[in-house]
Structure 1
């Protein structure tokens, strides 16, 4: 693998990063702050799934793990994370492909089931991340405090989870004017509370119906709701933290993004993060031999079925130009 290319200390903003240019002095970086109620919900939906993950060992030891719990958790995990990777990320944030209106709405709802924020909030934050990746303005760079051991440890915590508690919200008018103009997407975003309720209650309902017992409903909620959400959260957050600190950099990017292969399957291809930052609008992130990218395969299937079009697949010429030297 080619040697790592050093990232410039203050790199320019990539022109194709997915964030619209901000008119000087017109739209600030941040919008309105979260209310106390919204901040409380953030704490609840971050801490509760983490506690559930910690509790998995004693729960398995004491009560076991049924096949129905595994199936329910796996299905909701796959639906939610593909909603984030294919929908929130590659479609809405970077416009890697265009989708039929019904698929566009479906992807927005599927991403909402991951309980990582509404489609508007998620895309605004991520476009801001690309516009200021690993420099001032990036909402979750692990390098914000410096490069000393203490600073790196502090930065890792910030990038992985600390940034979630920042009350300041990315400015929607600056980063997502296209989505604000989309009535269907705005409606899905406004109903985010409904999708959260479905994401947590439906696994319990299915568990209860499959086992025809209250115990099945409880385990369905625990494994298919809380544990699934906790795992999905930490896999996604690891892209922000680990994939900007550990791994290989075969392509030239203007930040410290890296490829971290152990997360490739669980993240559905998102951990091939270096190519993504080198070419943000590309529909496939895992472009080298052996790099599995399930999200790209899903987009390919959508294209074959006629549900997606104008897919921005990588080209040999562009990849050659982006290779690190």
Structure 2
């Protein structure tokens, strides 16, 4: 049970930081926060994603492009322009690394206001740091895994951030239901999002890109991250920017 608890804790902390900090804050600027809190959530994202830490700056820029060019040849990760899931993930990795290493030619409007803590961006991307996280996960499994079969979960730990991105960017553009007619293939993957902290309501999000509540259009659509955002807004950690439904800004 210790291993299962550890896996679930890693899964949900990682996906929470991806949807809260990388997606809703870095990419869409649905709320603002002080520089101090921004650094706090940078560190929490680093802890939550560990060996698969994703740069908030690169993620934010790439995701804005996804909204602006969804399901076209300019989309960084579209199933429509990929042979399979792994092909899409590899293309996404290449696109992400070009942004991360300033090899891109992306227009400046997509980079406006994205968070950028150069030290953490650098530190989180170092291979010795990623390997240290992977070693820590492995040692934990050696200590507590009741059976060798549990070690099959380790690759998910190693690649947690990209796994979460692939679930939405591939499956939520192929399977599910729609509330809104769009010019792209975004769908709501799960009727009740117990898995992805609201990210599964992809059709809703593509319709209202700046709306902080991804669910709420049907009785069963509950976005678990939204109450947390409301709480943090109430206690002053962040400030919601209401009335925003733009595609990516």
8 A contact 1:77–1:232 mirrored in 2 = no
**Counterparts of 1:1-325 in structure 2 under 5 Å?**
67-112=1-46, 113-114=48-49, 115=52, 117-144=54-81, 154=83, 156-159=85-88, 161-166=89-94, 169-170=98-99, 171=104, 174=108, 175-179=110-114, 185-193=117-125, 196=130, 199-203=133-137, 207=140, 215-216=143-144, 222=151, 226-230=155-159, 233-261=162-190, 264-288=193-217, 289-312=219-242
Q: Deviations over 1:77-97 (max 9, x none)?
A: 222111111000001100011
Calculate the aligned-residue CA RMSD, in Å.
Answer: 3.2
Normalising by structure 1, we get a TM-score of 0.60
User: Across the two proteins, how many residue pairs are aligned to each other?
Assistant: 230
* Displacement after TM superposition at 1:191 (Å): 1.5
Question: Once the two structures are superposed, what CA deviation does each residue of 1:123-168 show, in whole Å capped at 9, x if it has no partner?
Answer: 22211111211112001111126xxxxxxxx255544x24235367
Deviations 1:89-132 (A, max 9, x none): 00110001112333322322333442153222222221111121
- Structure (1 or 2) with the larger CA radius of gyration: 1
Distance 1:249 1:313 in 2: 23
Q: Is the 8 A contact 2:61 2:111 kept in 1?
A: yes
1:270 shift after superposition = 0.2
Conserved? CA contact 1:141–1:155, under 8 Å = no
Provide TM-score, normalisation by structure 2: 0.77
Q: CA deviation at 1:197?
A: 5.1
| Structure 1 residues without counterparts, runs of 5 or longer | 1-66, 146-153, 209-213, 319-325
